[in-house]
Amino acid sequence: MTNRFQVRDRFADGAQFIGGRLRPGTSGRTHAVVNPATGEEIYTYELAGAADVDAAVAAAL
């Protein structure tokens, strides 16, 4: 089972992984991942914006 520390270590500051590198999201919005059993916020990440989607599609081509 993956614990919260392993998840946090994988993605620095909730970055988007696009084109082989981590980069911040462009939407200006965040989302919290909450442990449903305790209500504890485990991690917060930036939501992707339209520019992130465009960059991901361009990187995939």
Domain boundaries, the chain: 4-60
Which has the closest alpha carbon to 59: 12, 8, 23, 6? 23
Residue 8 has a pLDDT of 54
Q: Is-contact 16 46, C-beta < 8 A?
A: yes
pLDDT at site 12: 56
| Confidence band for 52, pLDDT divided at 50, 70 and 90 | very high
pLDDT tens track for 8-45:
555 556 678 899 888 888 899 988 889 899 999 888 88
Q: How confident is the model at residue 3 (pLDDT cuts 50, 70, 90)?
A: low
The alpha helices in the chain, defined as continuous H runs, are 4-10, 50-60
